[in-house]
Amino acid sequence: MTAEKQFSLSYEGFSYNARVVGKPHPPSLPVVLLGGALMDMLGWRMTERHLSERTTVVTVDLPGQGTSDPLPAAYGLRYLSASVAHLVKHLGLGRVNLVGTSFGSTLAYAVARIHPEIVSHMVLVGFGGKPTPRARKLTDWTCAMVDKGMPNLGHRFATSILNHDPSCSVRNRNSVRDTLIRYYDRYVPGPQAAATLRRALGDSDLWEAGVTGVPALLVCGEHDHLVPPSLSRRACSLIEDARFVVIKEADHVVHLERPAELAEVVLRFCDGASLDALDYLGPVEQPYGDAPPAVTPLRRLRSR
């Protein structure tokens, strides 16, 4: 039986909420799940169910998300990273494994970049690194439509992030699409949607050096067209110890399309187990070997 505890916390004047589930005294380090820009902590339930059988799982609505206080767009990734560090410290978790999807993967990267002392391993799902022109265009368009009060915007946003090519096999495609449409129809027209989306494009200096000292696995859906495998593979250049893998029959929302498989990948990677025998994964790659270009200058500076 897994137990659940709920917490109401505050950081620098903004309240936020978190949940902790899992068995007491698990053998693995706690896993902190960071969701997409327009996702609340309950959106992880399908993946959480599998993870909590073996470890402690923390989900959170940081300021600006879900049930927590609204957060102005001027509070960017640095503030949210500090909020994650505050959460980990308040709960007495020590070091944790971070898992982020979509915007949550960018936030997990920022946490490892700024607060590496709290991160043991990280799994980044749908991570493309520095926002691309396509991502900026989609964000700018969505924010403009939110400001104008465009009808059915949630439906349009949900369908824009999914791959609709019928020749691409994606698990749970129809149910995932319907789930996203229902959720975004409620959330995207709200006042926090534009601020949340704009926040995802800030803090450009985070991409100037890269992450060292935190092993990372970048996971990409085989048919993700928002952050395609080629882009996610290239983002390994930002992390000193990075591996990349494609998960088959998946699109951009792997935590809904293949939740059990994603949970297994997370637990295996964070526990140091092999991923080679998992038939739903492509080959595990290390695209830049031991010298990813974005972090090499940082290593040189440290060696002087």
Number of other residues whose CB lies within 10 A of the CB of residue 38: 27
> How high is the pLDDT of residue 297?
45
149 vs 189: CA distance, rounded Å: 7
Identify the DSSP state of 281. Answer: B
pLDDT tens, residue order, the chain (304 aa): 568 999 999 999 999 999 999 977 888 899 999 998 888 999 999 999 999 999 999 999 999 998 899 999 889 999 999 999 999 999 999 999 999 999 999 999 999 999 999 999 999 999 999 887 877 887 888 788 877 777 777 788 888 889 999 999 999 999 999 999 888 887 776 677 788 888 877 777 788 778 999 999 999 999 999 899 999 999 999 999 999 999 999 999 999 999 999 999 999 999 999 999 999 999 999 988 766 766 644 443 332 2
> How high is the pLDDT of residue 270?
97
Q: Tokens for 68?
A: 């927590």
- Crossing angle of helices 77-90 and 103-114, rounded to 10°: 70
> How high is the pLDDT of residue 189?
67
> How high is the pLDDT of residue 301?
31
The pTM of the full predicted model, rounded to 2 decimals, is: 0.92
Who contacts 217 (Cβ-Cβ below 8 Å, separation ≥6)?
121, 122, 123, 124, 242, 243, 244, 245, 265, 269
> How high is the pLDDT of residue 196?
83
> How high is the pLDDT of residue 291?
67
| Residue found by looking up tokens 């893998």 in the block | 245
Number of other residues whose CB lies within 10 A of the CB of residue 228: 19
For the chain, how far is it from start to end, CA to CA, in angstroms?
Answer: 52
Identify the DSSP state of 58. Answer: E
267 vs 52: CA distance, rounded Å: 10
Q: How many residues make up the chain in this entry? A: 304
DSSP 97-143: EEEEETHHHHHHHHHHHH-GGGEEEEEEES--SSPPHHHHHHHHHHH
DSSP 136-199: HHHHHHHHHHHHHT-TTHHHHHHHHTS---TTS--TTHHHHHHHHHHHHHHHTTSHHHHHHHHH
- Half-sphere exposure (Cβ direction) of 208: Cα atoms closer than 13 Å: 5
> How high is the pLDDT of residue 295?
66
DSSP 196-245: HHHHTT--GGGGSS-B-S--EEEEEETT-SSS-HHHHHHGGGGBTTEEEE
